[in-house]
């Protein structure tokens, strides 16, 4: 069965561009489009997507509120938010609302396709280019108090868990991490789950946020 995708963006050209990228793959089907977050719950119930690609900036209901509504639907789809990085904390608020990841709007076709597949498989979405933007933003905003609290939480990790956790802010896949730390991809996936539980966060994106706040981003 192809992965069913709903596109939500107030720019028709952006929707058409993303749809063209995704429809080039036989295992993905764009099942609907919307130009605003208003009525998103009904759209999801009608089109039954596996993944929603959600713009953050829309006229009536923004992507944060729309994400919150989608994630409140029982057995609802995963949400990947799209951002232009204009300097606010919208991405962080979208993640807190339940988004499983994010992409910058300049992401390449391959990144967009891989993000949809990852979200459909239940993984957090962190493309390398998007992650770099996020880390730069976090570095500019993080205060010393947050850093101290984050480092205290990271200190609970074992040496092996820390080795894996340090690579997550780089946006590397389980396969890429496995090749570097000499583990199987399945073992890396298990470590990511353990790290999430120890740190009290959900998924790779929130691990990356905490590691960045703690000052470990890019420290490998």
Residues linked to residue 53 through DSSP beta bridges, in sequence order: 7, 80
Q: In Å, what is the CA distance from 140 to each residue of 12, 90, 212?
A: 33, 15, 11
| pLDDT given at position 191 | 93
Domains of the chain plus CATH, in order, are: 3-135 (3.40.50.2300), 143-213 (1.10.10.10)
| pLDDT given at position 102 | 82
| pLDDT given at position 52 | 96
Q: 3-state SS string over the chain? A: CCEEEEEECCCHHHHHHHHHHHHCCCCEEEEEEECCCCCHHHHHHHHCCCEEEEECCCCCCCHHHHHHHHHCCCCCCEEEEEECCCCCCHHHHHHHCCCCEEEECCCCHHHHHHHHHHHHCCCCEECHHHHHHHHHHHHHHCCHHHHHHHHHHHCCCCHHHHHHHHHHHHCCCHHHHHHHHCCCHHHHHHHHHHHHHHHCCCHHHHHHHHHHHCCCCCCC
One digit per residue, the tens of pLDDT, for the chain of length 220 reads 899 999 999 999 989 999 999 999 999 999 999 998 899 999 999 999 999 999 988 888 888 999 999 998 988 899 998 887 654 567 777 777 888 888 888 888 988 998 898 888 877 776 555 555 565 555 555 455 677 788 888 999 999 999 999 998 887 888 889 999 999 999 999 999 999 999 988 778 788 888 887 877 655 5
| pLDDT given at position 145 | 66
């Amino acid at each position: 069965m192809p992965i069913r995708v709903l596109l939500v963006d107030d720019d028709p050209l952006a929707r058409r561009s993303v749809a063209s990228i995704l429809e080039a793959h036989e295992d993905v089907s764009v099942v609907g489009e919307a130009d605003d977050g208003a009525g998103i719950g009904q759209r999801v119930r009608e089109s039954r997507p596996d993944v929603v690609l959600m713009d953050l900036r829309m006229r009536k209901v923004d992507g944060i509120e729309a994400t919150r509504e989608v994630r409140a639907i029982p057995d609802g789809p995963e949400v990947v938010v799209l951002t232009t990085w204009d300097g606010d904390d919208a991405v962080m608020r979208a993640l807190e609302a339940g988004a499983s990841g994010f992409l910058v709007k300049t992401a390449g076709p391959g990144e967009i396709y891989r993000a949809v597949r990852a979200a459909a498989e239940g993984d957090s979405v962190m493309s390398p280019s998007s992650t770099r933007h996020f880390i730069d933003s976090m570095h500019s905003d993080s205060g010393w108090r947050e850093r101290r609290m984050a480092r205290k939480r990271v200190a609970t990790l074992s040496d092996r868990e820390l080795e894996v956790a340090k690579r997550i802010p780089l946006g590397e896949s389980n396969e890429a991490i496995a090749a570097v730390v000499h583990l199987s991809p399945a073992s890396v996936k298990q470590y990511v789950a353990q790290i999430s539980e120890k740190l009290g966060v959900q998924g790779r994106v929130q691990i990356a946020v905490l590691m960045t706040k703690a000052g470990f981003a890019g420290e490998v």
